[in-house]
């Protein structure tokens, strides 16, 4: 069965002990032991906080799974336990293959070491020999594209430079599973696109566990989504369904209960003449065309909210103002 599975999580829970003051930590260490020694019931000087409660799911080999949820829902805790940097209170985690993780910013880096030294240290932690890192170092440095800063201490790096170096390392360690925790949010647009191109290539053979607040990225990248809320799985399924329900719940938490589950446009959709797209002969004859068929706007599509704002029409137009049904990569279009 494991040949088909990359990650298997069963009844996973994590409990933290919350102390109101530092002295309570010392009391908890000493007093209950003394009380048990003399046969008295032991006192508890902490409160329990369950960051995760009985979480179970399976990630199959080759799947890309997005995890969404508000801050404090347990997403980062879950990833840390899957990567082995945090121990669970109960439950089990099974992983099959080499895991490369990009967790919180700067995790795994020594700020006093140079970028070069951190590449070798991180590569060694991920199971590469010095000779293997030697062979890949130039590619890692080119991917990170931080220039001479690779010889400077990491403590002098900006957050964007740190992400560049960290992602460059995990992109070149031949991992079977990539675990990414919202790290791309601090990168610039050009580097983010480079990372997305790498992820799409990796998805052909590898497994990705992806945490993001950007539901657009989850819908674009993932073929399965998991919604965590207060440490429990609220829903798992197709990214479209899970993300729509998550956004509706988030909206209602901020603005109050929706008054409608379906908004209808107040104006009837006008019939729009679609002008036939004229293509240059050399584009039409090319085997490298990347045509995209455009969506059809549906004013009665499911939605949420109180109906105070409505989207009544969406179109793509060419330079002459004609509505397009198809576009070719490289064309200029107006939304």
Average pLDDT over residues 205-222: 87
Q: Are 236 and 121 in the same domain?
A: yes
Q: Are 233 and 290 in the same domain?
A: no
Look at residue 265 in the predicted model and tell me its pLDDT.
Answer: 36
Rounded to the nearest integer, the mean pLDDT of the chain is: 83
Measured distance CA(33)–CA(331) in Å, rounded? 74
Q: Are 224 and 285 in the same domain?
A: no
Q: Are 181 and 316 in the same domain?
A: no
Residues in the chain: 335
Number of compact structural domains in the chain: 2
How many angstroms separate the Cα of 64 from the Cα of each of 70, 223, 236? 20, 6, 13
Q: Are 150 and 22 in the same domain?
A: yes
Closest CA to 71 of 228, 239, 220, 226: 228
Look at residue 323 in the predicted model and tell me its pLDDT.
Answer: 86
CA 242 from centroid of its chain's CA atoms: 14
119-128, 153-162, 186-195: least confident range: 186-195
Q: Are 82 and 117 in the same domain?
A: yes
Q: Are 206 and 318 in the same domain?
A: no
Look at residue 271 in the predicted model and tell me its pLDDT.
Answer: 41
Q: Are 220 and 293 in the same domain?
A: no
Q: Are 12 and 68 in the same domain?
A: yes
Contacts 24+ apart (CB under 8 A), 199-207: 199/64, 202/171, 202/178, 203/62, 203/64, 205/62, 206/62, 206/175, 206/176, 206/177, 206/178, 207/6, 207/7, 207/59, 207/60, 207/61, 207/62, 207/63, 207/64, 207/97, 207/176, 207/177, 207/178
227, 255, 283 — which closes off a domain? Answer: 255
Q: Which residues pair with residue 47 across a beta bridge?
A: 18
Domain extent for 171? 2-255
Q: Are 214 and 272 in the same domain?
A: no
Look at residue 274 in the predicted model and tell me its pLDDT.
Answer: 42
Q: Are 48 and 187 in the same domain?
A: yes
Q: Are 251 and 266 in the same domain?
A: no
- pLDDT single digits (tens) 18-43: 998 989 889 888 888 888 888 888 88
């Amino acid at each position: 069965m494991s040949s088909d599975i990359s990650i298997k999580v069963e009844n996973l829970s994590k409990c933290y002990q919350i102390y109101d003051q530092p002295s309570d930590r010392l009391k908890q260490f000493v007093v209950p032991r003394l009380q048990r020694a003399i046969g008295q019931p032991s006192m508890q000087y902490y409160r329990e906080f369950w960051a995760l409660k009985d979480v179970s799911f399976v990630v199959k080999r080759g799947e890309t799974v997005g995890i969404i949820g508000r801050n404090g829902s347990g997403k980062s805790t879950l990833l840390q336990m899957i990567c082995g940097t945090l121990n669970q209170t109960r439950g089990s985690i099974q992983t099959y293959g080499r895991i490369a993780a990009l967790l919180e910013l700067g995790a795994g880096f020594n700020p006093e070491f140079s970028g070069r030294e951190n590449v070798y240290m991180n590569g060694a932690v991920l199971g590469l020999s010095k000779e293997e890192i030697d062979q890949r170092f130039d590619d890692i440095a080119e991917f990170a594209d931080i220039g001479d800063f690779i010889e400077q201490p990491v403590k002098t790096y900006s957050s964007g430079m740190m992400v560049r170096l960290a992602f460059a390392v995990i992109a070149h360690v031949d991992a079977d599973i990539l675990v990414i925790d919202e790290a791309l949010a601090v990168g610039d647009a050009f580097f983010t696109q480079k990372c997305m191109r790498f992820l799409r290539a990796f998805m052909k053979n590898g497994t990705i566990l992806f945490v993001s607040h950007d539901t657009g990225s989850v819908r674009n990248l993932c073929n399965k989504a998991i919604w965590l809320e207060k440490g429990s799985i609220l829903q798992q399924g197709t990214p479209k369904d899970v993300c729509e329900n998550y956004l509706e719940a988030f909206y209602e938490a901020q603005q109050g209960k929706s008054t409608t589950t379906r908004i209808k446009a107040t104006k009837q959709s006008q019939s729009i003449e679609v002008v036939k797209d004229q293509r240059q002969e050399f584009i039409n004859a090319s085997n490298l065309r990347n045509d995209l068929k455009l969506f059809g706007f549906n004013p009665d599509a499911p939605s949420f909210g109180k109906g105070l704002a409505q989207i009544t029409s969406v179109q793509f137009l060419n330079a002459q103002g004609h509505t397009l049904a198809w576009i070719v990569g490289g064309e200029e279009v107006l939304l």
